[in-house]
A and B are shown apart, each in its own frame.
Chain A
Amino acid sequence: MSASFDQSYVAPRRPRRIFTAFASRPGVVLSSLFLLFVATATFWPQLVTTDNPLLADPIKSQLPPSPDHWFGTDHLGRDVFSRVVYGARYSVLIGVSAIAIAALVGSFLGLVAGLARGIIDEFISRFLDVVSSFPDLLLALVLISFTGPGTVNLILALGVASVPRFARVVRAQTFVIAKSGYVEQAKTFGLARHTLIIRHILPHAIAQVPILATIGLGSTIIQAAGLSFLGMGPQPPIPEWGAMLAEARNYLRVAWWIGVWPGVAITLTVIAISILGKRWQLAFEGRRQA
């Protein structure tokens, strides 16, 4: 009963040197550095490479990796390194936008369902059941086949497929928070319903959304690449990683580097995001227990 009163003392965090941080959590440090690089490639690809990713040069086609072309060149003689760097913009932004849409729509639906309860909750929950009864990728594929391929449609389709994950968590949290002692107490202060929701329910209900989003981002990037590979996403000559894989598959026997580098980029990005997401989740759960 009185257990909740005993809060152990938490020492203020001492500034640690990067070296000791690296020694204790090499995965987190390496992931952070890699994602920093990916972020740079996304927003300022010019900083990383001076080559034009779209410039074809038939004379230089299918050159293996060399000091001039680090990742080699593809069948049209385009520099693979600069294509991978510029591709980050598409692959990462598609994933981030899709997750952002899913988080916004999902949180809203979850909050409404959790607060309204009754028939509205029933309606929203069954709708979410229907959406989540299809595999994410299949649902996105069906949606794109209605709307047609393209970057925006890909983002929307992937976003819709991820909505239930967010909505369910937010709905469950809203239930719990709405019954909590401090919401009841705030009610006795005579606060209006919307004040109560914005001030005391919403911030707690969506507390886990950023973590869910980070963890979901990795799989969304893979799905985006997968759909692009099938020709559902950005169209050539846009250097999206999945689309690059699709183009490279015909040359895999003669020029492995065309397909391997975009694949490595996808893999490393997803692993790095997952490591950070899991780490964040652990920190959050630790804080909840304290």
Chain B
Amino acid sequence: MTALIEVRNLKIGFPRGAAENTVVHGIDLTIHRGETVAIVGESGSGKSVTARSMIGLCGNTASVCADTFEVAGKDVRAYRETDWRRLRGQEIGFVLQDALVSLDPLRRVAQQLSDAAGRRKLFARTQPDFDSHGLLQSVGIPDPERRLRQYPHQLSGGLRQRALIATAIARNPSLLIADEPTTALDATVQKQILDLLAERRKAGHTLLLISHDLAVVSRLADRVLVMNGGQIVEEGKTADLLRNPRHPYTRQLLDAVPSAGSKGFRLSASAASPGYDQAVPVPASAARLPLPAKTVHSGNHVLSVRNLVKYYGGSDTPVVNDVSFDLSAGEALGIVGESGSGKTTVAKIVLGLVEPEEGAVFIDGQLWSNVSDDVRRPRRSIMQLIAQDAFSSFDPRYTVEKIVGESLEITGLYGAERRERVLEVLEAVRLGGDFLQRYPRELSGGQRQRVAIARAFAPRPRLLVADEPVSALDVSVQAQVLDLLAELQAASGTSLLFISHDLGVVHHLTDRVVVMKDGRVVESGDVAQVFSAPRHGYTRTLLEAIPSLA
């Protein structure tokens, strides 16, 4: 095998004031022809900027230096913009995370493909000798004739990501770099894209995958490089690395993947865990710490939902169609489905933000839906919401203290008492008093979600509605947030309605599960039962789509 990319001692820095902030600290990287390599790490580990340095897209302010930096045998260290332009698309194709923002919304698919194929004339709309049909077929887009005429917004998320991949491989580059190609996608769509990449790999193409999730890349990659803090902490054959992680950080990443096996155990590393801090090979499962046990009062229904039907904006097809379920005190119920399945609408109806057309919601046996605001308002503190995007759920003018304190307003807690409770819950999510005067923009993604959890638990709610609370987070941060949720839920005996498209997370966290498709409940029951013996075909499809380690 010959090396396609050969990098020695790569350093990348960005100016910060007068000084330089180095984000990649001298890494070595070799990609052979025909090989699939994955770089795995959390946000800020330097993995994306490393990938971008290979096509000269680190930005004008970045300083990139290396002892060796060869692409297809050519030294690119002295490359100027015009040299890079020849390389991009021709030698290296690049696929970004979000196809919706990466494709030009004003150009049809056919135009984007011929753009990518390299137009010769400035005003030529398409290129006559270019087989865009075959290209779309090769990425598995059915009915290419119709799709070529469409705009990106007319394609579904999966098709859009395929079209983006098609633009990246339009000139048949030697290397395809995919930077978090499936992070914005549902599990089933993610599987389709991973299958597509797997096909390319089988055909002998070279692939570099960037991801925060070891499970996503483990099926595809021949070799995995684990990055942390701008350094490669571990590197090896995928199977070896998964079976025998040597570096504690690799083990942490492996443990962070929620699955059937992790149920009842913590996902994030704990300092108290034996063998964690030493670089001694310990099987990931042996180091696991159990989560505190929950008590479920089955039959004591905090929330009952009966035959909900909801239409939006004069449409004939309901977004929610005959949905019923119960949630007992102390229990965790998962609602699973793809985007558009109506699960978020159910959450909004339960929260009393949207009224159902038919059916009813009962809280503690009392009617909750279609009642006047005056009746509902005093009872609102019973339930709290944890939204997907914590940042947008905070008023940007508010400090953490005011954000958390506001949920206590209706409970009549003021002044010193309120402050005390705010501190108490902030400590429970391990943030502490230093954070009281911070603003949301000064917090990291994980910290924001922790503030959102603290706010939700502050008024001691009996019911928590969590709408995709971890789907915007890295696997390692997700692990911490899930542990926190599980701990606090067990300690407070709160019921949890957990909405997610990620079956691994739902399996890990919840006791019972409701599977939704096109507004209907297709299957429901005990998590272990539904996941081990799914009765409905759709549940099986969802289950098969979960990326698992190796």
Least Cβ–Cβ distance between B350 and chain A, in angstroms: 10
Interface size class of A (residues with CB under 8 A): 20 to 34
Asked whether A180 is an interface residue with its Cβ less than 8 Å from the other chain, the reply is: yes
Query: Which residue of B97, B387, B474 contacts A185 across the interface (Cβ within 8 Å)?
Result: B387
A188 closest partner in B (C-beta)? B385
**When the two chains form their complex, are residues A5 and B445 in contact, meaning their CB atoms are under 8 A apart?**
yes
Contacts A5-B444, A189-B409; A184 near B353 (Cβ below 8 A): yes
**When the two chains form their complex, are residues B377 and A192 in contact, meaning their CB atoms are under 8 A apart?**
yes
**When the two chains form their complex, are residues B472 and A181 in contact, meaning their CB atoms are under 8 A apart?**
no
Query: Which residue of A190, A193, A199, A290 contacts B410 across the interface (Cβ within 8 Å)?
Result: A190
Asked whether A236 is an interface residue with its Cβ less than 8 Å from the other chain, the reply is: no
Asked whether B16 is an interface residue with its Cβ less than 8 Å from the other chain, the reply is: yes
Query: Which residue of B376, B393, B442, B472 contacts A182 across the interface (Cβ within 8 Å)?
Result: B393
**When the two chains form their complex, are residues A1 and B472 in contact, meaning their CB atoms are under 8 A apart?**
yes
Asked whether B128 is an interface residue with its Cβ less than 8 Å from the other chain, the reply is: no
Asked whether A9 is an interface residue with its Cβ less than 8 Å from the other chain, the reply is: yes
| Bound-state Cα–Cα, A187 to B377, Å | 9
**When the two chains form their complex, are residues B395 and A1 in contact, meaning their CB atoms are under 8 A apart?**
no
Contacts A185-B385, A190-B378; A4 near B391 (Cβ below 8 A): yes
Residues of A within 8 A of B97 (CB): 1
B373 closest partner in A (C-beta)? A193
Least Cβ–Cβ distance between B378 and chain A, in angstroms: 7
Query: Which residue of A1, A7, A11 contacts B183 across the interface (Cβ within 8 Å)?
Result: A1
| Bound-state Cα–Cα, A190 to B352, Å | 10
B43 closest partner in A (C-beta)? A2
A5 closest partner in B (C-beta)? B445
| Bound-state Cα–Cα, A11 to B19, Å | 12
Interface size on B, residues (CB 8 A): 41
Residues of B within 8 A of A9 (CB): 16
Least Cβ–Cβ distance between A201 and chain B, in angstroms: 10
| Bound-state Cα–Cα, A192 to B378, Å | 10
**When the two chains form their complex, are residues B410 and A7 in contact, meaning their CB atoms are under 8 A apart?**
no
Q: Which of A139-183 contact B (CB under 8 A)?
A: 180-182
**When the two chains form their complex, are residues B384 and A182 in contact, meaning their CB atoms are under 8 A apart?**
no
| Bound-state Cα–Cα, A5 to B183, Å | 15
**Which of A4, A189, A191 gathers the greatest number of chain B CB atoms within 10 Å?**
A189
| Bound-state Cα–Cα, A186 to B383, Å | 12
Q: Mark A40-54, 1 if CB is under 8 A from B, else 0.
A: 000000000000000
Asked whether B98 is an interface residue with its Cβ less than 8 Å from the other chain, the reply is: yes
| Bound-state Cα–Cα, A136 to B303, Å | 58
Q: Which of A195-248 contact B (CB under 8 A)?
A: 199-200, 203-204
A177 closest partner in B (C-beta)? B395
Residues of B within 8 A of A68 (CB): none
A193 closest partner in B (C-beta)? B373
Asked whether A6 is an interface residue with its Cβ less than 8 Å from the other chain, the reply is: yes
Residues of B within 8 A of A11 (CB): 17
Least Cβ–Cβ distance between B402 and chain A, in angstroms: 10
Least Cβ–Cβ distance between A2 and chain B, in angstroms: 6
B14 closest partner in A (C-beta)? A8
Asked whether B397 is an interface residue with its Cβ less than 8 Å from the other chain, the reply is: yes
Query: Which residue of B380, B389, B473 contacts A190 across the interface (Cβ within 8 Å)?
Result: B380
Query: Which residue of A2, A181, A190, A199 contacts B377 across the interface (Cβ within 8 Å)?
Result: A190
Least Cβ–Cβ distance between A22 and chain B, in angstroms: 22
Asked whether B190 is an interface residue with its Cβ less than 8 Å from the other chain, the reply is: no
Residues of A within 8 A of B184 (CB): 1
Least Cβ–Cβ distance between B295 and chain A, in angstroms: 26
**When the two chains form their complex, are residues B351 and A188 in contact, meaning their CB atoms are under 8 A apart?**
yes
Q: Mark B439-458, 1 if CB is under 8 A from A, else 0.
A: 00110110010000000000
Contacts A1-B97, A9-B16, A188-B351; A182 near B183 (Cβ below 8 A): no
Q: Mark B273-288, 1 if CB is under 8 A from A, else 0.
A: 0000000000000000
Residues of A within 8 A of B222 (CB): none
Residues of A within 8 A of B384 (CB): 188
**When the two chains form their complex, are residues B381 and A7 in contact, meaning their CB atoms are under 8 A apart?**
no
**When the two chains form their complex, are residues B445 and A181 in contact, meaning their CB atoms are under 8 A apart?**
no
**When the two chains form their complex, are residues A5 and B391 in contact, meaning their CB atoms are under 8 A apart?**
yes
Query: Which residue of B17, B353, B409 contacts A187 across the interface (Cβ within 8 Å)?
Result: B353
**Which of B379, B394, B397 gathers the greatest number of chain A CB atoms within 10 Å?**
B397
**When the two chains form their complex, are residues B392 and A181 in contact, meaning their CB atoms are under 8 A apart?**
yes
| Bound-state Cα–Cα, A11 to B445, Å | 21
**When the two chains form their complex, are residues B394 and A182 in contact, meaning their CB atoms are under 8 A apart?**
yes
Q: Which of A233-290 contact B (CB under 8 A)?
A: 290
Least Cβ–Cβ distance between B84 and chain A, in angstroms: 24
**When the two chains form their complex, are residues B385 and A2 in contact, meaning their CB atoms are under 8 A apart?**
no
Asked whether B406 is an interface residue with its Cβ less than 8 Å from the other chain, the reply is: yes
| Bound-state Cα–Cα, A185 to B406, Å | 10
**When the two chains form their complex, are residues A181 and B17 in contact, meaning their CB atoms are under 8 A apart?**
no
| Bound-state Cα–Cα, A192 to B397, Å | 20
Residues of A within 8 A of B16 (CB): 9
| Bound-state Cα–Cα, A7 to B447, Å | 13
**When the two chains form their complex, are residues B381 and A4 in contact, meaning their CB atoms are under 8 A apart?**
no
Contacts A1-B183, A2-B472; A188 near B445 (Cβ below 8 A): no
**When the two chains form their complex, are residues B380 and A188 in contact, meaning their CB atoms are under 8 A apart?**
yes
A-contacting residues of B (Cβ < 8 Å)?
Answer: 16-17, 43, 97-98, 183-184, 351-353, 373, 376-381, 383-385, 387, 389, 391-397, 406-407, 409-410, 441-442, 444-445, 448, 472-474
Pairs A–B under 8 Å by Cβ, sample size 22? A1-B98, A2-B474, A4-B389, A7-B442, A180-B392, A181-B387, A181-B389, A181-B393, A182-B395, A188-B353, A188-B383, A188-B384, A189-B381, A189-B407, A189-B409, A189-B410, A190-B378, A190-B379, A190-B380, A190-B381, A191-B377, A193-B373
9 A-B pairs closest in CB distance: A190-B380, A181-B392, A5-B445, A181-B393, A190-B410, A185-B393, A190-B377, A182-B395, A188-B385
Given contacts A182-B393, A184-B385, A188-B383, 20 further A-B contacts (CB under 8 A): A1-B183, A2-B43, A2-B474, A4-B392, A5-B43, A6-B43, A180-B392, A181-B392, A182-B392, A184-B393, A187-B353, A189-B380, A189-B409, A190-B379, A190-B380, A190-B381, A191-B377, A191-B406, A192-B377, A200-B395
